Amino acid sequence: MTLYIQHGHAKSTRITDAFDDDSARGVVLAARNEKVANLDSCVAMLHDKYKCDILFDPQFYVSTLIPANDRYLPEEYPYYELGRTAKDFIGRRKVDAYTKQTLDFQADRLFDRLLSPTVIVNSLTDRWSQIALQLADSSIEHHATLSDPSPLLISVVISESALDSRSELDAFLDTLTGWDVQGYYLVVVRDDPTYSQRFDEGRLARLLYLVHVLGDRNGYEVVCGYSDFVGIPLRAAGATAFATGWYQSLRQFHEKAFLKQKPGGQRARLRYSSRPLINSVMLSELESIHRAGYLDQILSNVELDSMIRRATSPERSEWTTQISERHHWQTLSAMNEELEGSPKASTAAVIESVRQAIGLYTVLRGSGVPFERSTDGEHLREWLRALTAFQREAGWA
Protein backbone atom coordinates (compact mmCIF):
# COMPACT_ATOMS: atom_id res chain seq x y z
CA MET A 1 0.00 0.00 0.00
CA THR A 2 2.11 2.82 -1.30
CA LEU A 3 2.81 5.77 -3.56
CA TYR A 4 4.21 5.27 -7.07
CA ILE A 5 5.87 7.90 -9.23
CA GLN A 6 4.14 8.48 -12.57
CA HIS A 7 6.98 8.74 -15.08
CA GLY A 8 7.03 11.29 -17.87
CA HIS A 9 9.22 13.62 -19.91
CA ALA A 10 12.54 14.88 -18.47
CA LYS A 11 12.92 12.39 -15.65
CA SER A 12 16.48 13.53 -14.81
CA THR A 13 17.01 12.41 -11.17
CA ARG A 14 13.38 12.85 -10.19
CA ILE A 15 12.55 9.16 -9.76
CA THR A 16 15.72 8.37 -7.82
CA ASP A 17 15.21 11.49 -5.67
CA ALA A 18 11.81 10.14 -4.63
CA PHE A 19 13.29 6.77 -3.76
CA ASP A 20 16.18 8.38 -1.88
CA ASP A 21 13.64 10.41 0.13
CA ASP A 22 11.72 7.17 0.83
CA SER A 23 8.59 8.97 -0.30
CA ALA A 24 7.81 6.43 -3.05
CA ARG A 25 8.10 2.66 -3.30
CA GLY A 26 7.40 2.21 -6.99
CA VAL A 27 7.25 3.76 -10.44
CA VAL A 28 4.95 3.50 -13.45
CA LEU A 29 7.23 3.98 -16.46
CA ALA A 30 5.69 5.47 -19.61
CA ALA A 31 6.53 4.24 -23.10
CA ARG A 32 6.22 7.49 -25.04
CA ASN A 33 8.83 9.25 -22.91
CA GLU A 34 11.80 6.90 -23.27
CA LYS A 35 13.73 5.16 -26.00
CA VAL A 36 13.81 1.42 -25.39
CA ALA A 37 17.54 1.41 -24.65
CA ASN A 38 17.10 4.12 -22.03
CA LEU A 39 14.09 2.32 -20.61
CA ASP A 40 16.09 -0.88 -20.19
CA SER A 41 19.02 0.89 -18.55
CA CYS A 42 16.65 2.72 -16.19
CA VAL A 43 14.98 -0.55 -15.14
CA ALA A 44 18.35 -2.22 -14.58
CA MET A 45 19.58 0.69 -12.45
CA LEU A 46 16.40 0.81 -10.34
CA HIS A 47 16.47 -2.94 -9.69
CA ASP A 48 20.14 -2.76 -8.76
CA LYS A 49 19.90 0.23 -6.42
CA TYR A 50 16.41 0.10 -4.89
CA LYS A 51 13.83 -2.29 -3.57
CA CYS A 52 10.87 -0.96 -5.52
CA ASP A 53 7.96 -1.96 -7.73
CA ILE A 54 8.51 -1.25 -11.42
CA LEU A 55 5.47 -1.14 -13.69
CA PHE A 56 5.33 -0.15 -17.34
CA ASP A 57 2.38 1.58 -19.00
CA PRO A 58 2.63 0.62 -22.72
CA GLN A 59 0.33 3.56 -23.53
CA PHE A 60 -1.33 1.59 -26.30
CA TYR A 61 -4.33 3.92 -25.91
CA VAL A 62 -2.38 6.81 -27.47
CA SER A 63 -2.68 5.06 -30.85
CA THR A 64 -6.37 6.03 -31.07
CA LEU A 65 -5.84 9.75 -30.40
CA ILE A 66 -5.66 12.34 -33.20
CA PRO A 67 -3.33 14.22 -33.50
CA ALA A 68 -1.36 12.16 -31.01
CA ASN A 69 1.61 13.50 -29.08
CA ASP A 70 3.27 10.09 -29.14
CA ARG A 71 6.98 11.03 -28.96
CA TYR A 72 9.05 7.80 -29.00
CA LEU A 73 6.13 5.39 -29.45
CA PRO A 74 6.18 5.12 -33.28
CA GLU A 75 9.94 4.69 -33.57
CA GLU A 76 10.67 2.48 -30.60
CA TYR A 77 7.72 0.28 -29.64
CA PRO A 78 6.69 -2.58 -31.94
CA TYR A 79 3.11 -2.85 -30.65
CA TYR A 80 2.30 0.79 -31.45
CA GLU A 81 0.73 2.15 -34.62
CA LEU A 82 -0.58 5.68 -35.01
CA GLY A 83 -4.16 6.40 -36.01
CA ARG A 84 -6.00 3.24 -35.06
CA THR A 85 -9.78 3.42 -35.37
CA ALA A 86 -12.53 1.10 -34.18
CA LYS A 87 -12.30 -0.74 -37.52
CA ASP A 88 -8.76 -1.83 -36.62
CA PHE A 89 -10.17 -3.95 -33.79
CA ILE A 90 -12.68 -5.93 -35.82
CA GLY A 91 -11.80 -9.61 -35.64
CA ARG A 92 -10.25 -11.60 -32.81
CA ARG A 93 -7.07 -12.24 -34.79
CA LYS A 94 -6.21 -8.51 -34.82
CA VAL A 95 -6.96 -8.09 -31.13
CA ASP A 96 -4.87 -11.14 -30.25
CA ALA A 97 -1.95 -9.77 -32.27
CA TYR A 98 -2.07 -6.46 -30.37
CA THR A 99 -2.10 -8.14 -26.97
CA LYS A 100 0.66 -10.58 -27.92
CA GLN A 101 2.97 -7.79 -29.14
CA THR A 102 2.31 -5.63 -26.08
CA LEU A 103 2.69 -8.34 -23.45
CA ASP A 104 5.66 -10.02 -25.13
CA PHE A 105 7.52 -6.70 -25.11
CA GLN A 106 6.99 -6.46 -21.35
CA ALA A 107 7.62 -10.13 -20.61
CA ASP A 108 11.15 -9.81 -21.99
CA ARG A 109 11.92 -7.18 -19.33
CA LEU A 110 12.15 -7.04 -15.56
CA PHE A 111 8.79 -5.44 -14.79
CA ASP A 112 7.07 -6.48 -11.57
CA ARG A 113 3.65 -6.42 -13.24
CA LEU A 114 2.56 -6.72 -16.85
CA LEU A 115 -0.06 -4.18 -17.96
CA SER A 116 -2.52 -5.08 -20.68
CA PRO A 117 -3.08 -2.84 -23.72
CA THR A 118 -6.31 -0.88 -23.67
CA VAL A 119 -8.17 2.04 -25.25
CA ILE A 120 -9.81 5.09 -23.69
CA VAL A 121 -13.45 4.40 -22.80
CA ASN A 122 -15.86 7.35 -22.83
CA SER A 123 -18.95 5.33 -21.94
CA LEU A 124 -19.21 1.92 -20.31
CA THR A 125 -21.67 0.85 -23.00
CA ASP A 126 -20.07 2.27 -26.16
CA ARG A 127 -18.10 0.49 -28.87
CA TRP A 128 -14.77 1.38 -27.30
CA SER A 129 -15.77 -0.22 -24.01
CA GLN A 130 -16.34 -3.50 -25.84
CA ILE A 131 -12.95 -3.15 -27.53
CA ALA A 132 -11.34 -2.54 -24.12
CA LEU A 133 -12.97 -5.69 -22.74
CA GLN A 134 -11.85 -7.71 -25.78
CA LEU A 135 -8.26 -6.52 -25.29
CA ALA A 136 -8.45 -7.45 -21.61
CA ASP A 137 -9.88 -10.91 -22.30
CA SER A 138 -7.27 -11.55 -24.98
CA SER A 139 -4.51 -10.39 -22.61
CA ILE A 140 -5.62 -12.86 -19.97
CA GLU A 141 -5.51 -15.70 -22.50
CA HIS A 142 -2.07 -14.74 -23.83
CA HIS A 143 -0.65 -14.19 -20.35
CA ALA A 144 -1.57 -17.80 -19.53
CA THR A 145 0.69 -19.01 -22.35
CA LEU A 146 3.80 -17.16 -21.14
CA SER A 147 6.57 -18.94 -19.25
CA ASP A 148 6.74 -17.74 -15.63
CA PRO A 149 5.52 -14.20 -16.34
CA SER A 150 5.07 -11.39 -13.84
CA PRO A 151 1.45 -11.06 -12.65
CA LEU A 152 -1.00 -9.34 -14.98
CA LEU A 153 -2.84 -6.11 -14.28
CA ILE A 154 -5.72 -5.31 -16.62
CA SER A 155 -5.55 -1.68 -17.74
CA VAL A 156 -8.79 0.31 -17.47
CA VAL A 157 -8.69 3.90 -18.78
CA ILE A 158 -12.10 5.51 -18.52
CA SER A 159 -13.38 9.05 -18.93
CA GLU A 160 -14.73 10.77 -15.85
CA SER A 161 -18.16 10.95 -17.50
CA ALA A 162 -18.25 7.15 -17.75
CA LEU A 163 -18.90 7.18 -14.00
CA ASP A 164 -22.26 8.93 -14.40
CA SER A 165 -24.39 5.77 -14.44
CA ARG A 166 -24.43 3.41 -11.47
CA SER A 167 -26.27 0.69 -13.38
CA GLU A 168 -23.69 0.76 -16.19
CA LEU A 169 -20.89 0.66 -13.61
CA ASP A 170 -22.43 -2.38 -11.93
CA ALA A 171 -22.64 -4.22 -15.25
CA PHE A 172 -19.02 -3.29 -16.00
CA LEU A 173 -17.96 -4.53 -12.56
CA ASP A 174 -19.73 -7.84 -13.16
CA THR A 175 -17.31 -8.45 -16.02
CA LEU A 176 -14.20 -7.22 -14.20
CA THR A 177 -14.84 -9.29 -11.09
CA GLY A 178 -15.27 -12.44 -13.16
CA TRP A 179 -11.67 -12.48 -14.39
CA ASP A 180 -8.89 -14.50 -12.75
CA VAL A 181 -6.11 -11.89 -12.76
CA GLN A 182 -3.80 -10.24 -10.25
CA GLY A 183 -5.58 -6.93 -10.48
CA TYR A 184 -6.20 -3.66 -12.29
CA TYR A 185 -4.36 -0.55 -13.36
CA LEU A 186 -7.09 2.09 -13.22
CA VAL A 187 -6.90 5.57 -14.77
CA VAL A 188 -9.64 8.20 -14.91
CA VAL A 189 -9.46 10.76 -17.74
CA ARG A 190 -10.39 14.06 -16.14
CA ASP A 191 -12.81 16.47 -17.85
CA ASP A 192 -11.25 19.74 -16.68
CA PRO A 193 -7.83 20.22 -18.35
CA THR A 194 -6.64 22.53 -15.56
CA TYR A 195 -4.83 21.23 -12.49
CA SER A 196 -7.31 21.13 -9.63
CA GLN A 197 -8.46 18.71 -6.93
CA ARG A 198 -12.13 19.25 -7.78
CA PHE A 199 -14.12 16.13 -8.67
CA ASP A 200 -17.87 15.85 -9.26
CA GLU A 201 -19.21 14.30 -6.06
CA GLY A 202 -21.40 11.67 -7.75
CA ARG A 203 -18.60 10.53 -10.03
CA LEU A 204 -16.10 10.43 -7.17
CA ALA A 205 -18.49 8.42 -5.02
CA ARG A 206 -18.88 5.86 -7.81
CA LEU A 207 -15.10 5.79 -8.38
CA LEU A 208 -14.60 5.02 -4.68
CA TYR A 209 -17.22 2.29 -4.98
CA LEU A 210 -15.46 0.84 -8.06
CA VAL A 211 -12.12 0.70 -6.25
CA HIS A 212 -13.72 -0.72 -3.11
CA VAL A 213 -15.50 -3.52 -4.96
CA LEU A 214 -12.34 -4.50 -6.82
CA GLY A 215 -9.80 -4.02 -4.06
CA ASP A 216 -11.57 -4.79 -0.80
CA ARG A 217 -14.52 -6.99 -1.64
CA ASN A 218 -12.83 -9.05 -4.37
CA GLY A 219 -9.21 -8.92 -3.26
CA TYR A 220 -7.70 -7.60 -6.49
CA GLU A 221 -4.59 -5.47 -6.52
CA VAL A 222 -5.70 -2.00 -7.65
CA VAL A 223 -3.15 0.58 -8.80
CA CYS A 224 -4.73 3.98 -9.45
CA GLY A 225 -2.66 5.91 -11.96
CA TYR A 226 -2.52 9.72 -12.27
CA SER A 227 -4.38 10.12 -8.98
CA ASP A 228 -2.60 12.89 -7.06
CA PHE A 229 -4.42 13.99 -3.87
CA VAL A 230 -7.55 12.01 -4.77
CA GLY A 231 -5.35 8.93 -4.40
CA ILE A 232 -5.75 9.31 -0.63
CA PRO A 233 -9.52 8.59 -0.53
CA LEU A 234 -8.99 5.91 -3.19
CA ARG A 235 -6.39 4.24 -0.98
CA ALA A 236 -8.81 4.46 1.93
CA ALA A 237 -11.51 2.76 -0.15
CA GLY A 238 -9.29 -0.21 -0.99
CA ALA A 239 -6.66 0.70 -3.60
CA THR A 240 -3.29 -1.00 -3.20
CA ALA A 241 -1.29 1.94 -4.54
CA PHE A 242 -1.74 5.25 -6.32
CA ALA A 243 0.54 7.18 -8.64
CA THR A 244 1.33 10.80 -9.37
CA GLY A 245 4.09 12.55 -11.29
CA TRP A 246 6.20 15.67 -11.24
CA TYR A 247 4.57 17.93 -13.83
CA GLN A 248 0.93 18.82 -13.31
CA SER A 249 0.16 16.92 -16.54
CA LEU A 250 1.61 13.81 -14.86
CA ARG A 251 -0.35 14.21 -11.65
CA GLN A 252 -3.74 13.83 -13.30
CA PHE A 253 -4.68 12.29 -16.64
CA HIS A 254 -5.86 14.88 -19.14
CA GLU A 255 -6.32 13.81 -22.75
CA LYS A 256 -4.94 17.19 -23.80
CA ALA A 257 -1.48 16.11 -22.58
CA PHE A 258 -1.46 13.30 -25.16
CA LEU A 259 -2.49 15.49 -28.09
CA LYS A 260 -0.19 17.71 -30.14
CA GLN A 261 -0.34 21.33 -29.00
CA LYS A 262 1.01 24.59 -30.32
CA PRO A 263 4.44 25.31 -28.83
CA GLY A 264 4.74 27.77 -25.98
CA GLY A 265 2.68 28.31 -22.86
CA GLN A 266 3.37 29.78 -19.46
CA ARG A 267 5.82 28.27 -17.03
CA ALA A 268 4.10 26.59 -14.07
CA ARG A 269 4.17 28.72 -10.93
CA LEU A 270 5.73 27.49 -7.72
CA ARG A 271 3.43 25.56 -5.43
CA TYR A 272 3.40 24.16 -1.92
CA SER A 273 1.54 20.92 -1.08
CA SER A 274 -0.25 21.29 2.24
CA ARG A 275 -1.19 18.18 4.17
CA PRO A 276 -3.67 20.04 6.45
CA LEU A 277 -5.35 21.78 3.47
CA ILE A 278 -5.26 18.63 1.30
CA ASN A 279 -4.27 20.81 -1.61
CA SER A 280 -1.38 22.24 -3.58
CA VAL A 281 -1.45 26.01 -3.11
CA MET A 282 0.59 28.72 -4.81
CA LEU A 283 3.75 29.86 -3.08
CA SER A 284 2.30 33.40 -3.19
CA GLU A 285 -0.73 32.10 -1.26
CA LEU A 286 1.60 30.47 1.24
CA GLU A 287 3.21 33.89 1.66
CA SER A 288 -0.21 35.40 2.45
CA ILE A 289 -0.87 32.63 4.96
CA HIS A 290 2.49 33.39 6.58
CA ARG A 291 1.64 37.10 6.85
CA ALA A 292 -1.73 36.23 8.40
CA GLY A 293 0.07 34.21 11.09
CA TYR A 294 -1.15 30.72 10.13
CA LEU A 295 1.93 29.20 8.50
CA ASP A 296 2.51 26.58 11.20
CA GLN A 297 -1.08 25.35 10.90
CA ILE A 298 -0.81 24.53 7.20
CA LEU A 299 2.72 23.12 6.93
CA SER A 300 2.90 19.42 6.07
CA ASN A 301 5.53 18.52 8.68
CA VAL A 302 7.74 16.65 6.23
CA GLU A 303 11.49 16.90 5.73
CA LEU A 304 11.56 19.58 3.05
CA ASP A 305 9.45 21.94 5.16
CA SER A 306 12.79 22.91 6.70
CA MET A 307 13.46 25.09 3.66
CA ILE A 308 10.34 27.12 4.43
CA ARG A 309 10.89 27.22 8.18
CA ARG A 310 14.45 28.50 8.04
CA ALA A 311 13.62 31.32 5.61
CA THR A 312 12.27 34.69 6.69
CA SER A 313 9.21 34.03 4.54
CA PRO A 314 8.07 31.45 1.94
CA GLU A 315 8.81 33.70 -1.03
CA ARG A 316 12.32 34.37 0.28
CA SER A 317 13.09 30.67 0.68
CA GLU A 318 15.16 28.63 -1.76
CA TRP A 319 12.01 26.91 -3.00
CA THR A 320 12.39 25.61 -6.57
CA THR A 321 10.27 23.60 -8.98
CA GLN A 322 12.12 20.38 -8.25
CA ILE A 323 12.05 20.95 -4.49
CA SER A 324 8.30 21.53 -4.80
CA GLU A 325 7.92 18.23 -6.67
CA ARG A 326 9.86 16.26 -4.06
CA HIS A 327 7.92 17.96 -1.28
CA HIS A 328 4.66 17.01 -3.01
CA TRP A 329 5.61 13.32 -2.90
CA GLN A 330 6.77 13.58 0.70
CA THR A 331 3.42 15.09 1.63
CA LEU A 332 1.34 12.47 -0.19
CA SER A 333 3.50 9.69 1.25
CA ALA A 334 2.96 11.02 4.78
CA MET A 335 -0.80 11.18 4.20
CA ASN A 336 -0.75 7.67 2.76
CA GLU A 337 1.05 6.28 5.82
CA GLU A 338 -1.76 7.54 8.04
CA LEU A 339 -4.19 5.16 6.32
CA GLU A 340 -3.83 2.11 8.51
CA GLY A 341 -6.53 -0.38 9.28
CA SER A 342 -9.69 -1.32 7.42
CA PRO A 343 -11.24 0.68 4.57
CA LYS A 344 -14.04 1.58 6.98
CA ALA A 345 -11.63 3.11 9.49
CA SER A 346 -9.44 4.72 6.82
CA THR A 347 -12.44 6.32 5.09
CA ALA A 348 -13.64 7.72 8.42
CA ALA A 349 -10.15 9.14 9.01
CA VAL A 350 -10.10 10.82 5.59
CA ILE A 351 -13.54 12.31 6.24
CA GLU A 352 -12.29 13.80 9.51
CA SER A 353 -9.22 15.24 7.75
CA VAL A 354 -11.46 16.79 5.07
CA ARG A 355 -13.68 18.38 7.71
CA GLN A 356 -10.64 19.85 9.47
CA ALA A 357 -9.33 21.18 6.16
CA ILE A 358 -12.69 22.87 5.46
CA GLY A 359 -12.51 24.53 8.87
CA LEU A 360 -8.95 25.68 8.28
CA TYR A 361 -9.88 27.21 4.91
CA THR A 362 -12.74 29.06 6.64
CA VAL A 363 -10.31 30.54 9.17
CA LEU A 364 -7.85 31.56 6.45
CA ARG A 365 -10.53 33.27 4.34
CA GLY A 366 -11.77 35.05 7.45
CA SER A 367 -8.25 36.38 7.96
CA GLY A 368 -8.22 37.82 4.44
CA VAL A 369 -6.05 35.19 2.73
CA PRO A 370 -6.95 35.20 -1.01
CA PHE A 371 -7.07 31.97 -3.05
CA GLU A 372 -7.46 31.29 -6.74
CA ARG A 373 -10.28 29.12 -8.05
CA SER A 374 -8.03 26.07 -8.45
CA THR A 375 -6.73 26.35 -4.88
CA ASP A 376 -9.75 27.69 -2.98
CA GLY A 377 -10.58 24.40 -1.25
CA GLU A 378 -14.02 23.96 -2.80
CA HIS A 379 -13.02 20.41 -3.75
CA LEU A 380 -13.21 19.51 -0.06
CA ARG A 381 -16.99 19.90 0.07
CA GLU A 382 -17.31 17.74 -3.06
CA TRP A 383 -15.03 15.13 -1.50
CA LEU A 384 -16.97 15.21 1.77
CA ARG A 385 -20.28 14.57 0.04
CA ALA A 386 -18.72 11.83 -2.10
CA LEU A 387 -17.06 10.12 0.87
CA THR A 388 -20.21 10.15 2.99
CA ALA A 389 -22.24 8.81 0.04
CA PHE A 390 -19.65 6.05 -0.37
CA GLN A 391 -19.85 5.30 3.37
CA ARG A 392 -23.59 4.75 3.04
CA GLU A 393 -23.14 2.60 -0.06
CA ALA A 394 -20.60 0.45 1.77
CA GLY A 395 -23.00 0.05 4.70
CA TRP A 396 -20.81 1.92 7.19
CA ALA A 397 -23.19 4.80 7.91
Convert the pLDDT of each residue in 91-110 to its tens digit. Answer: 999 999 999 999 999 999 99
Is a pLDDT exceeding 80 seen at residue 192? yes
Dist. CA 258–CA 253, nearest whole Å: 9
| 30-39 mean pLDDT | 97
- Residue 397's pLDDT band, with cuts at 50, 70 and 90, is confident
Dist. CA 304–CA 22, nearest whole Å: 13
Dist. CA 283–CA 297, nearest whole Å: 15
2 vs 231: which has the higher pLDDT: 231
Q: Which helix (H) or strand (E) holds 2?
A: strand 2-6
Q: How, if at all, do strands 114-115 and 279-282 pair? A: unpaired
Q: Give the model's pLDDT for residue 294.
A: 98
Domains, the chain, with CATH or none: 2-258 (3.20.20), 271-394 (no CATH)
Is the CB of residue 154 less than 8 Å from the CB of residue 111? Answer: no
| 293-322 mean pLDDT | 98
Q: Give the model's pLDDT for residue 109.
A: 96
- Residue 264's pLDDT band, with cuts at 50, 70 and 90, is low
Q: Give the model's pLDDT for residue 265.
A: 63
3-state secondary structure (DSSP) of residue 155 = strand
- Amino acid identity, residue 183? G
| 368-373 mean pLDDT | 96
Average pLDDT, the chain: 96
Dist. CA 185–CA 175, nearest whole Å: 15
- Residue 230's pLDDT band, with cuts at 50, 70 and 90, is very high
- Residue 261's pLDDT band, with cuts at 50, 70 and 90, is confident
